[in-house]
Amino acid sequence: MSQPGSEDIARHNDIAVALYSLAASVVRRMPRDISLTAAATLYALERHGPQRITRLAALEGVAQPSMTALVTKLEHDGLAERRSDPTDGRAVLVALTAAGERYVHERRQAGAAGLVRLIDDLPADHARSLRDALPALQAVAVLDHRDTGAASRLTPTPGGGPR
């Protein structure tokens, strides 16, 4: 994939800045019951399925000992569990528990509810524009995840949102 030229950046910068600001706003509004790294790790397990600690550390940009400590805390909180790797009996995989899956779902729904309140305050034509842009926004999400193997979890569902 080629690097975007200055003309591409200028043409899309206003959209990118608006999306980035919105994403930052969503993060600021989220509950602080766990760290952002812990939440990102749970989302990574949801997107990628069970992973080795080394892979989780690489995905989240932390050292392996830090991820080991984080996984231990997530285990203690009942949100994740360690399992034997069926392809390598010496290795261990980290996976979401049912409680971890519920936590990720509830956290996502809480974030979406906050955005719904903001969208409800928009003029009708702006809300309609966002609805019309939904396929493009979903496509951006799929592009963001295409190299990680997570795109299938972001395909649109009958309700209009990603799976």
Q: For 99-148, what is each residue's pLDDT tens digit?
A: 999 999 999 998 899 899 999 999 999 999 999 999 999 999 888 777 55
Cα gap 55→160, rounded to integer Å: 31
Tokens found for residue 107: 């956290």
Cα gap 9→6, rounded to integer Å: 5
Sorted by sequence, the CB contacts under 8 Å of residue 17 that are 6+ apart come out as none
User: Partners of 94 in the beta sheet?
Assistant: 51, 82
pLDDT tens-digit readout, 29-83 = 887 899 999 999 999 999 999 999 999 999 999 999 999 999 999 999 999 999 9
Confirm if 141 and 162 have CB atoms less than 8 A apart.
Answer: yes
The CATH number, out of the four listed (2.40.50.140, 3.40.50.2300, 3.30.300.280, 1.10.10.10), of the domain defined by the range 9-121: 1.10.10.10
